[in-house]
Amino acid sequence: MVLVTWFGSRAYCDFGGWRLPTEIEWEKAARGSDDRPFPWGDEIERNNAKYHASRDPIEEIAGDLGNTTQAGYYNGRTYDNYPTLDSASPCGVYGVGGNVWQWTGDAYHDQHYRYMRGGSRANYAVDLRVWTRNSAGPRPGDAERRFSPRSRRVVWDESLTFELADTRATGLRA
């Protein structure tokens, strides 16, 4: 799904009884308790995440429909002779690096912009580091942003337990 605003993402979460994570919560889920630069470790390989020049075969197979991959795709399995690396964060979260920018729930006083984390398929590997952030206005037309409805990777429940990808869509077990 493209062109989903911060308000639209927040409304989607509200409808499900969830909420967007704060930037601190997002980074904790992506990094764990150490200083790793990427959710899965210290280095990035093309098979860790979808990003510019990662050569993800989904783009070649699906054309424009392959612009994003479903959450949990980089799980150590092989798809059509393309081996992925198990790219879960220390907290067991998949898909927090690359593919799509992920809105966070922080709304800073006297600031129009809202912040996203994680990098996207259009970014270079350096932009997938857990401390990288991007900003955009929260309304339509401010910027094109992507949000994956098949993933709850930006959603926290009331106990602050990070939700993994929807297991029905990915075949992963939570």
Domain count, the chain: 1
Pairing of strands 82-83, 78-79: antiparallel
H helices within the chain, ranges in order? 6-16, 23-31, 57-62, 167-170
pTM over 0.85: no
Q: How far is CA 103 from CA 23, 90, 113, 117, 164, in A?
A: 9, 21, 11, 7, 16
Domain housing 26 = 1-165
Tell me whether residue 172 is in a domain. Answer: no
Give yes or no for a contact between 72 and 97, defined as CB atoms under 8 angstroms apart: no
Tell me whether residue 25 is in a domain. Answer: yes
For 64-104, the pLDDT digits (tens) are 666 788 878 999 999 888 899 999 999 999 999 998 889 99
Q: Residue 57: what pLDDT?
A: 77
Tell me whether residue 170 is in a domain. Answer: no
Q: What is the mean pLDDT of the chain?
A: 79
> What percent of the chain has pLDDT above 90?
45
Tell me whether residue 6 is in a domain. Answer: yes
Helix %, strand %, coil % of the chain (to 5): 20, 15, 65
Tell me whether residue 174 is in a domain. Answer: no
3-class secondary-structure state, position 30: helix
Sign of CA dihedral 128, 96, 75, 3: negative
d(CA 32, CA 80): 31
Tell me whether residue 59 is in a domain. Answer: yes
For 12-57, the pLDDT digits (tens) are 999 999 999 999 999 999 999 999 999 999 999 999 999 988 877 7
pLDDT confidence of 147, banded at 50, 70, 90? Answer: very low
- Of 33, 20, 82, nearest to 54 by C-alpha is 82
